[in-house]
Chains A and B, each alone.
Chain A
């Protein structure tokens, strides 16, 4: 009897093994050429890692074995065009590119499409040609999530916010979207008002002088919204100068909401100086990119909106910043 049972178990194990091997062999190869404009920071490293890991997991589920062919243009649009030509010559199945020059990438898009290769722009869109699809971050939703979470935090603390808004560059659509979302939520919730808008041109020196001026002009301000926290040391310097650099829970605390949660903001959030942020999410962008690539490979509609397939950010607070998974600004910081 034991012999029969052992035989049956052995048979089942072998059957599963053979089935598994057959599945691995059944995976259809999908070669994706990825043209990066630069590879100068930890962000690009994180992207590549996330793309590979997501490619493996999502690809397996969809029946693909994704192979990545990656080249880097070293911030040279001519080099990027040549790199993409190389990918076309090599005969990759799909090309994805983060354009160095949105105005110049159109030529490469056309060349790829003439060769019958779908072209997906990543993070930075094209202004000179229509790609098969575009994948990027959703800057409007990012600020909306931050603002809604911030309003909830203020409500819980019983605070009526009088906020200084540190805007980005006014010709940058991301900055415009973030300002729009922030002020729309202000109207919807009534939990805070923007008492002054300070343009920074994404320049840390203007973050410092602008916030210093605003704090001086509006001593009643009790909160700050920064359209990006990449220049957080300048925000910190301005708050220190004004005697308002204190973590949450202390009387001098300035309620702080930001977008992006970049490297410079991770530690201040861990220490309770930043109350809420929404990630500029390298992981979710990579995940969305792989989903779109698979849909394109299957000749399916990836279901993008008018601005492309935009990955949303994740809301992070001091309570979650240490534990939220795949946070590139924390895990890949130098």
Chain B
């Protein structure tokens, strides 16, 4: 009886490994710090993660289709740099500037798509090169200097509807829309089919190239939306905008449960918890007044724990194999 119960617990932990790690970390910070488990602080976490979550949702679509887009940070930087420079030089209205930024994101995503889908270049190599090139162009345009937003636009960064910051509401809105797109539409099912086996999807007559093209364009659009959000939050476009997003977003969505091999995962329940846990660790360690050098270590340990749990769930972990051999 007790053996069966232990096995049931072990199987539960394997199936929900990330959730378990998530809850442990959350409870730990809630118990040992004074201000972590307060509404204002939880809203701070959600607000801080909003730009990355939106960009990660776009990346998740590409990953689900079995490809990678590591240029999202550079797309965010370049498109926002163009928008901010136009606002500064020509007094462009914020709304028009935002539309131009999103248009730039779509265009830059389309360039990625062209290289991957039409020129048949591996998506990692293609977006690695555009990641470098886009950032280079943006640095050239901005002279590697901070481009500050006009003072009358700055207030948007701290705007609220009731007690909830607008950036959090925007994040939920965008992520839910992308979730519905992935889970409830033909386009979403084609993405998953591509991720499961692109050659089979192609043989079945699915428009693989068009679907792949559109995922990169969407990824570019969402990266630029994330860029707009972080620009408004910070009140400026900095040369660091989006720097490292690609890897944090990738880690977050994989930790959240989206397979790097494609064809598995959901947007809402993978992207949001995945991004949340990274921001929660940073926030919790600050609440703990932890040694600054410990941040990377703790993040690394949590990623490892969540990934190992994911590997066990996928039947790739050593323990999983041992357990299976016993049954």
**A, B in one complex:** yes
Q: Using a CB–CB distance below 8 Å, which chain A residues touch chain B?
A: 38, 40-42, 167, 170, 195-199, 202-205, 208-210, 212-214, 216-219, 230-231, 233-234, 236-237, 240-241, 263-264, 334
Q: Which A residues lie within 8 Å of B241 (CB)?
A: 204-205
* B157, B158, B289: the one within 8 Å of A195 (CB): B289
| Contact across chains for B158 and A240 when beta carbons are under 8 A apart | yes
Q: Which B residues lie within 8 Å of A210 (CB)?
A: 282, 286
CB distance from B167 to the nearest CB of A (A): 11
| Contact across chains for B292 and A197 when beta carbons are under 8 A apart | yes
Give B190-237 interface residues, CB cut-off 8 Å to A: 230, 233-236
| Contact across chains for A40 and B143 when beta carbons are under 8 A apart | yes
Give B281-308 interface residues, CB cut-off 8 Å to A: 282-283, 286-287, 289, 291-293, 295
Fill in one digit per residue for B137-161: 1 if any A CB lies within 8 Å of its CB, else 0: 0011001111011000010011000
Closest A residue to B33 using CB positions: A217
| Contact across chains for A199 and B146 when beta carbons are under 8 A apart | no
CB distance from B211 to the nearest CB of A (A): 32
Give B237-257 interface residues, CB cut-off 8 Å to A: 238, 240-241, 243-244
Q: How far is the CA of A218 from the CA of B287 in the complex (A)?
A: 8
Q: Which B residues lie within 8 Å of A203 (CB)?
A: 240, 243-244
| Contact across chains for A237 and B233 when beta carbons are under 8 A apart | yes
Q: How far is the CA of A120 from the CA of B264 in the complex (A)?
A: 57
The residue in B34, B240, B295 that gathers the most chain A C-beta atoms within 10 A of its C-beta is: B240
If A42-B145, A196-B289 are given as contacts, then 13 extra A-B residue pairs at C-beta distance below 8 Å, sorted by A number, are A170-B292, A170-B293, A202-B240, A204-B236, A205-B230, A209-B279, A212-B47, A218-B289, A233-B234, A234-B234, A234-B236, A240-B157, A264-B148
Question: Taking A202-B240, A204-B236, A237-B235 as contacts, is the C-beta distance between A214 and B293 under 8 angstroms?
Answer: no
Closest B residue to A175 using CB positions: B292
Residue B189 is within 8 A (CB to CB) of chain A in the complex:
no
Closest A residue to B88 using CB positions: A334
Q: Which B residues lie within 8 Å of A204 (CB)?
A: 146, 234, 236, 238, 240-241
* A40, A196, A214, A237: the one within 8 Å of B139 (CB): A40
Q: Using a CB–CB distance below 8 Å, which chain B residues touch chain A?
A: 33-36, 38, 40-41, 44, 47-48, 51, 139-140, 143-146, 148-149, 154, 157-158, 230, 233-236, 238, 240-241, 243-244, 279, 282-283, 286-287, 289, 291-293, 295
Closest B residue to A41 using CB positions: B143
Closest B residue to A206 using CB positions: B282
* B44, B144, B238, B240: the one within 8 Å of A213 (CB): B44
Q: How far is the CA of A192 from the CA of B245 in the complex (A)?
A: 36
Q: Which B residues lie within 8 Å of A205 (CB)?
A: 51, 230, 233-234, 238, 240-241
Q: How far is the CA of A236 from the CA of B148 in the complex (A)?
A: 12
| Contact across chains for B292 and A263 when beta carbons are under 8 A apart | no
Q: Shortest 7 CB-CB distances between A and B: which pairs?
A: A209-B48, A199-B292, A233-B235, A217-B287, A213-B286, A233-B236, A204-B238
CB distance from A175 to the nearest CB of B (A): 10
| Contact across chains for B243 and A196 when beta carbons are under 8 A apart | no
